Structure 1
């Protein structure tokens, strides 16, 4: 039976894909709805600030969107790129280090029991430690602040990549049907690893990479407390120290925007490595 929007689940990606192909205006309607959601969000925020809402949550001192927009305009009319570039370089370098180590160690831990016994207990002990708690050790361990900031952003990205990789490898190895099929076809351990474990683990690794990128940006403000001069996170922290509130929110939104864009790029890049999932991604667009 042919797969159509009428004989599959209404909320499934395949149903949405079929509906979009049948009516291209649905995609435009979704974009309009998302823009309206953003407009509603900022409108409610402006209203709460304008009325001085104070019921459990106090908006009397929270800068309104108009004040944040003014601070953003001032930021971009000055010299914004030195701050954006500094933050980007720290996050991307930390993310590259974290993702490389996380994938390698995750595969080793998931594939070899000896590595799991030796590496996983100390890593699990370190995993719950928040990024801000690493600042004193980063100052002591690294020769300059730049290295310490890269280290803190890498800490944020490392553990999601590691845990997702371990879980992906272990879940693939637990699928005895795939392993037995490979063995019946004469596959040796290396072939099983290359043709079964790696592709089977890719969805989990991709999720970890996407979450890790978001966490690296999440740790940026903590990392750039050490900066002293440049960075979006540093501007956010400095504005808090000087009680200049609009740039705080501007920095938060800018970090959120760059983090969302980076996570989207990682998601698309990893999706290209899994062509068998392209249909689902197109359907959920």
Structure 2
């Protein structure tokens, strides 16, 4: 009997993931999902019952007995990289993308993202591939940057100019009590300015990687544009919202390796909002084609 809630691909994926549970945990999950109406006599019967009575992937994976560590272990077995500290809801999103075919496997090299492509000569990526690349990149970037906070657990990976092109450019606008604008050129300067925001000014960036918080596109010149919005925090206080647009370029020497060429950061503080205005859920207002138009003709000399 096939589940009405899960597709064949989702059933196959859930089956593989559930196999990672201990038998005792699997039986307890069966009781929860079936409301104790089914009493399986084997692991396979338990898994079958769970699949039949689950209405959706999200419903199943959100179950308390499907531990975050199990989902992480499954993704690792499928060679789908995610930050070790990623929250459970991000891992669930990654699994759903993988099972729907929106996500390909990725490899890592010194923190630089290397999207795995199906053919060596592939020149144009689909919008789904670009979005998957952007999501993985943001998860990596913000985890690494936030780990530089004085009170954060330090990442094993090193922050530095090696993640940027030598002639990388950064535009930084922030609107608190008054409008300010800064510009930096060069991998070292861009890297140090971003580092100082977290290490010296003690800011933490919380990106919204859902819905309209993340939009990605590729310019005709091969510049991958990743636009992400989120909130900025210090201690337990939300200071405002940010919008950050990256321009990524693949390295011609190291196949399928990407480095940061453009950084465009805008921060709007709460005290810059009009009286009575509340911070909305951070979102990117640009559509992918508008992102392309904004950065069409960007200097791609590396």
Q: TM-score, normalised by structure 2?
A: 0.20
Give the number of the structure whose residues are more often helix, by fraction. Answer: 1
Give the number of the structure whose residues are more often strand, by fraction. Answer: 2
Which one has more relative contact order, counting CA pairs under 8 Å at least 6 apart?
Answer: 1
Q: TM-score, normalised by structure 1?
A: 0.21
State which structure, 1 or 2, has the greater radius of gyration over its C-alpha atoms.
1
